[in-house]
Amino acid sequence: MPHETSAAMPEHPDFAAYAGAAWARLVRTALLLTGDFHEAEDLVQTTLAKVYARWGRLPPDDVDFYVRRSLVNNNISRTRRRRVTHLLMPFLPERVHQSDQGHAESVESRAAITEALGSLSTRQRTVLVLRYWEDLPETAIAEVLNCSPGTVKTHARRGLEALRSHPAFAAAERPHPLPGARP
């Protein structure tokens, strides 16, 4: 892909290295925040472009924090303004194809968790993703969201309650271990 070659002058080679290393992880986080792969890539691209614009002024030790907060804030603003929305499908569609049972289960599990996360408020969803995917402690999440740890706890508790009662999430939990899970 011509647009993916870095031959065109990394004005900030450190940024290139950082972006290359962080891209996949950020896209996966963004996918959980948005529920849509293309939206996720767009969100990360937007975030990294903003980071690039400030790259020379970011303290090196704070880059991860700044990027994560920028990603989260861009997503919250995006949701608030409804420039784009996140779910590919608002419901679990009937299975059309079952030629590959493993793949079908994987897709169904992903659709289920996507649907369940879609039922949460943006902040609840963000807290759960940061807590249980990014593995951040509550204090760090509070810094990212610029709120108190108590607020983070509240969002997490309510988010978990909502997930617990969501039929799609419950259904996805029941039948089989989810493929691709990290150890």
Partner 1 sequence: MNHLDPGAERDAEPAETGRLREALAAAAYDVTPSRVPLAAVERRGRMIRRRRRTTVLGAGCAVLLAPLAFVTLHGPDDGDRVTRPAATVSASPAPSASPTVSAPTPRIVEPGERVTAAPGFVLWLTEEGKHWTTPDVPEEDQFRSVVDGNIDRTRPGVSLQIEGTDGRVLASGVYYGGEGTASVVEVASEDGPVRGKLLELPGRPGWGVWYAVTHSGVEAPVTVRDTEGRVYATLP
Query: Which of positions 114-143 make contact with partner 1 (CB under 8 A)?
Result: 114, 128-129, 132-133, 135-139
Q: Which of 16, 58, 63, 171 binds partner 1 (CB under 8 A)?
A: 16
Nearer to partner 1, 12 or 62 (CB): 12
Rounded (10°) CA dihedral 47, 52, 58, 62: 40
Residue 172 makes CB contacts below 8 A (sequence gap 6+) with: 108, 109, 112, 113, 116, 178
| Residue bearing tokens 């004005």 | 11
Estimate the crossing angle of helix 13-34 against helix 37-53, to 10 degrees.
140
Q: Minimum distance between the CB of residue 107 and partner 1, rounded to whole angstroms?
A: 5
Q: Which of 31, 67, 144, 162 binds partner 1 (CB under 8 A)?
A: 31
Q: Which of 58, 63, 147, 160 binds partner 1 (CB under 8 A)?
A: 160
Q: Footprint of partner 1 on residues 79-108 (CB under 8 A)?
A: 79-85, 87-90, 93, 96-97, 106-107
Residues touching partner 1, count (CB under 8 A): 85
Does 154 interact with partner 1 (rule: CB under 8 A)?
no
Containing H/E element for 139?
Answer: helix 138-145
**Sign (positive/negative) of CA torsion 42, 45, 48, 49?**
negative
